[in-house]
Amino acid sequence: MQNRRSAARLALCATLGAFLVSLTALPAAGPAQAAPANAAGAAVGAAAGAAAGILPHRAVYKMSLLSARNSSKVSDVRGRMLFEWADACDGWTTEQRFQLRFVYAEGDEMAMTTNYTTWEAKDGQRYRFNVRKLINGEEDEEVRGDARLAKDGTGSAAFSKPEPQDMELPPNTMFPTAHTLAVLDHASAGETFFNRVVFDGADSEGATEVSTVIGAAAPIKEDGADPLLKGKKAWPVRMAFFPLKSDSAQPEYEMSLRLLQNGVAESMQIDYGDFTVNAILEKVEALPKSGC
């Protein structure tokens, strides 16, 4: 069922930075254009500058249904997401834990609990992922594997669950944290558009083209802002996601967010066409330094 698949993807979409943001007036981006040769290596190298300003942190977000069309089968969404982004010396680790409840127009409800953990080398060339999802308290799916990239972005992914599977990754592929850092680097440089293929391992469908539009930076409002956020620049970012296995000219979903220069996201809106989910930052705290 499409709505069930959308619900599952919602509990994993924040793997691309776990961004959180308010919807902006930026135009929807079209399908990603072909990147120049060795663009992945150049993007990873440039992102080293953005990495220096990243704040390893733990954040809690409140998630709720923002809007739904009359034709939508989803009538309500409620829950929370815990997100951690840590510096593991030789790599970055992320952990996302979702507890969401979906209510459908016909009255049915679905409780979803998802735990998603990753490790990504700081050179952007190695990646490990593990996803475990429960539906109404029973295990629904587990995805596990690892992936490697060459400097030109070509590579392969090997899944051990839900079943053994190997797949090739196209040129100029990036992993999620490298992509997030590259978005920040492009934002800092004042560049408006950024397109790339991203592999996150969230499911066994493969990589996704991500077309990104970045708006003008604005300072965080000081009144009531958390000390970790004060004085930071924030960019409105809109991303459109096009699965490589799909022939549709329309994105599977779009995400709008307000991304801070230290990697913290204030809010996020995820638009599936027939319904939109909102995520608002409730609490953020710095994680202990790794001691590297």
What DSSP letter does each residue of the chain carry, written as one string?
A: -HHHHHHHHHTTGGGTT-------SPPPP-SPPPPPTTHHHHHHHHHHHHHTT---EEEEEEEEEEEE-TT-SEEEEEEEEEEEEEE-SSEEEEEEEEEEEEEETTS-EEEEEEEEEEEEETTS-EEEEEEEEEETTEEEEEEEEEEEE-TTS-EEEEEEESS-EEEEE-TTEE-HHHHHHHHHHHHHTT--EEEEEE---SSTT--EEEEEEE---EEPP-TT--TTTTT-EEEEEEEEEEETT---SS-SEEEEEEEETTS-EEEEEEE-SSEEEEEEEEEEEEPPP---
Residue 63 and residue 100 in contact, taking contact as beta carbons nearer than 8 Å: yes
pLDDT attached to residue 21: 23
Residue 208 and residue 198 in contact, taking contact as beta carbons nearer than 8 Å: yes
Residue 145 and residue 161 in contact, taking contact as beta carbons nearer than 8 Å: yes
Comparing C-alpha atoms, which of 201, 250, 185, 155 is closest to residue 44? 185
Mean pLDDT in runs of 10 for the chain (292 residues)?
42 37 26 45 54 88 93 92 93 94 90 95 96 92 95 92 94 93 94 94 88 90 74 92 86 92 91 91 88 72
Residue 178 and residue 198 in contact, taking contact as beta carbons nearer than 8 Å: no
pLDDT attached to residue 51: 74
pLDDT attached to residue 221: 72
pLDDT attached to residue 71: 87
Residue 185 and residue 50 in contact, taking contact as beta carbons nearer than 8 Å: yes
As beta bridge partners, residue 157 has 147, 167
pLDDT attached to residue 48: 57
